[in-house]
Amino acid sequence: MFNTANKKISVLLALLAIGYLVMAFRLPKYPYVPVDADAVPIVLGFLLLLLSGFLYFQKDNHQQGKIRIPKNEKIVILAVLGFVLLFIALLEILGFLLTTVLFLFGNTWFLGYRNWKRNLIVSLAVPLAIYALFDYFLKISLPRGILPF
C-alpha cells in the first residue's frame, strides 16, 4: 500500500486535509452574510483532499532511495518558510494589505526577481484585488491592522 513516496505523502496530506475539514466545519456560522467565513477553508480542505487522492494514484518517477536536496536549496526553502511564518505573525498586527504587500515583494525579491517596478506593481495589485473581492463582494472582513480601511 505504501510502496512509494507519493503514496506515503498523499496519505499524510489526506489525514491533514480531514483534520483541517473537521476544524473548518466547526467554525461558527454568522447570520446575515451572503458567504459565511467557513466557505474558503472548506473549499481549500476539499481541494487538498482531492489533490492528495491524485497524488496517491500518480506514478512515482523517482528512483527508490533518498532524494538529495542541495544545501543551497535547503536554505532557500527554510528562508521562504521563514517568510511565511513572519507573514502569519504580522497578519493581525499590520493587517492583510500591508502584510501581503511586504510578503509578496520580499519573497519575490529574495527568490531572484529583480525588476522592482513590476514587482511593486504586482505586490500592490494582487492584495488590493483580493481585499476588494473579500471585503466588498463576499462581505468577509480581512484583518485591517494599522490601516484605517
pTM of the model: 0.67
* Backbone CA torsion sign across 44, 45, 49, 55: positive
CA distance 126 to 144: 16
User: Which amino acid makes up residue 53?
Assistant: G
User: Which amino acid makes up residue 20?
Assistant: Y
Q: Identify which of 96, 72, 71, 79 has the alpha carbon closest to the alpha carbon of residue 149.
A: 96
What does the block give as the cell for 142?
Answer: 480581512
Q: What is the pLDDT of residues 61-109, one digit of tens each?
A: 665 556 778 888 999 999 999 999 999 999 999 999 999 999 999 999 9
